[in-house]
Chain A
Amino acid sequence: MKLYLKFFAINLKSQMQYKATFLLNIFARVVMSFATVAGVWFMFMRFNEVEGFTLNQVLLCTAIIMMSFSLTEVFARGFDVFPRLLGNGQFDRFLVRPRNIIFQVLASQMEFARLGIFIQAAFVFIYAIPRSGVVWTRDKILTLFLMIICGSLVFFGLYLVYASFAFFTVEGLEFMNILIYGGREFGRYPFSIYGKGILKFLTYIVPLALFQYYPLLYLLDIKQNAFYMLLPPLSMLFLLPSYAFFRIGLRRYKSTGS
Chain B
Amino acid sequence: MKKYAALFKIRFINGLQYRAAAAAGLSTQFAWGFMEILAFSAFYRANPAAFPMEFSHLVSYIWIQQAFLALFAPWGSGGDAVEAIVSGNIAYDLTRPLDIYNRWFIETAANRVARAALRCTPVLFVAFILPPPLKMTLPPSLFQLSMFVLAVPLGLCVVTAYSVIDSISTFYTMSRYNAIFVIMADFFAGGYIPLPFFPEPVRKVVELTPFGAMQNMPLRIYSGDIAGPDAVKGVVLQIFWFAALLLAGKMLMRKSLKRVVSQGG
A residues at B contact (CB < 8 Å): 21, 24-25, 27-29, 31-32, 35-36, 38-39, 42-43, 45-51, 171-175, 177-178, 182, 186, 189, 193-195, 198
3 tightest Cβ-Cβ pairs between the two chains A and B = A28-B179, A193-B42, A172-B24
A189 to B36, CA, bound (A): 11
CB-CB nearest in chain B for A177: B28
Q: In the complex the two chains form, is B28's CB within 8 Å of A50's CB?
A: no
Q: Which of B23, B24, B43 lies in contact with A173, CB distance below 8 A?
A: B24
B residues at A contact (CB < 8 Å): 20-21, 23-25, 27-28, 31-32, 35, 38-39, 42-43, 45-47, 50, 52, 175, 177, 179-180, 183, 186-187, 192-193, 197-199, 202
A186 to B20, CA, bound (A): 26
Q: In the complex the two chains form, is B50's CB within 8 Å of A47's CB?
A: yes
For residue A253, give the distance in angstroms from its CB to the closest CB of chain B. 21
Q: In the complex the two chains form, is B183's CB within 8 Å of A194's CB?
A: no
Determine the main DSSP class of A at the interface with B. helix
Q: In the complex the two chains form, is B42's CB within 8 Å of A32's CB?
A: no
For residue B185, give the distance in angstroms from its CB to the closest CB of chain A. 11
A114 to B73, CA, bound (A): 22
CB-CB nearest in chain B for A190: B42
For residue B152, give the distance in angstroms from its CB to the closest CB of chain A. 24
Which residues does chain A contribute within 8 Å of B43, judged by CB atoms? 43, 47, 50
For residue B28, give the distance in angstroms from its CB to the closest CB of chain A. 5
CB-CB nearest in chain B for A188: B39
Q: In the complex the two chains form, is B52's CB within 8 Å of A46's CB?
A: yes
Given contacts A35-B186, A46-B197, 18 further A-B contacts (CB under 8 A): A24-B175, A28-B177, A29-B179, A31-B180, A32-B179, A38-B192, A39-B193, A43-B197, A45-B199, A46-B52, A47-B46, A50-B46, A174-B21, A182-B35, A189-B39, A193-B39, A195-B38, A198-B38
For residue A7, give the distance in angstroms from its CB to the closest CB of chain B. 25
Which residues does chain A contribute within 8 Å of B46, judged by CB atoms? 47-51
Q: In the complex the two chains form, is B192's CB within 8 Å of A39's CB?
A: yes
- 27 contacting pairs across A/B (C-beta < 8 A): A21-B175, A25-B177, A27-B180, A28-B180, A28-B183, A29-B179, A31-B180, A32-B179, A35-B192, A39-B193, A42-B193, A42-B197, A43-B43, A45-B199, A47-B43, A47-B47, A48-B46, A50-B46, A172-B20, A172-B21, A172-B24, A175-B24, A175-B28, A178-B27, A182-B28, A182-B32, A193-B42
Q: In the complex the two chains form, is B177's CB within 8 Å of A186's CB?
A: no
Q: In the complex the two chains form, is B180's CB within 8 Å of A38's CB?
A: no
A171 to B38, CA, bound (A): 29
A171 to B23, CA, bound (A): 10
For residue A212, give the distance in angstroms from its CB to the closest CB of chain B. 14
For residue B21, give the distance in angstroms from its CB to the closest CB of chain A. 7
A75 to B120, CA, bound (A): 36
A47 to B44, CA, bound (A): 9
A179 to B56, CA, bound (A): 27
Q: Which of B28, B42, B198 lies in contact with A51, CB distance below 8 A?
A: B42
Which residues does chain A contribute within 8 Å of B179, judged by CB atoms? 28-29, 31-32
For residue A141, give the distance in angstroms from its CB to the closest CB of chain B. 29
Which residues does chain A contribute within 8 Å of B198, judged by CB atoms? 42
Of A28, A182, A195, which is in contact with the most chain B CB atoms at under 10 Å from its CB? A28
A178 to B24, CA, bound (A): 11
A31 to B178, CA, bound (A): 12
For residue B30, give the distance in angstroms from its CB to the closest CB of chain A. 9
CB-CB nearest in chain A for B40: A43
Which residues does chain B contribute within 8 Å of A21, judged by CB atoms? 175
Q: In the complex the two chains form, is A48's CB within 8 Å of B42's CB?
A: no
A60 to B184, CA, bound (A): 24
Which residues does chain A contribute within 8 Å of B25, judged by CB atoms? 174
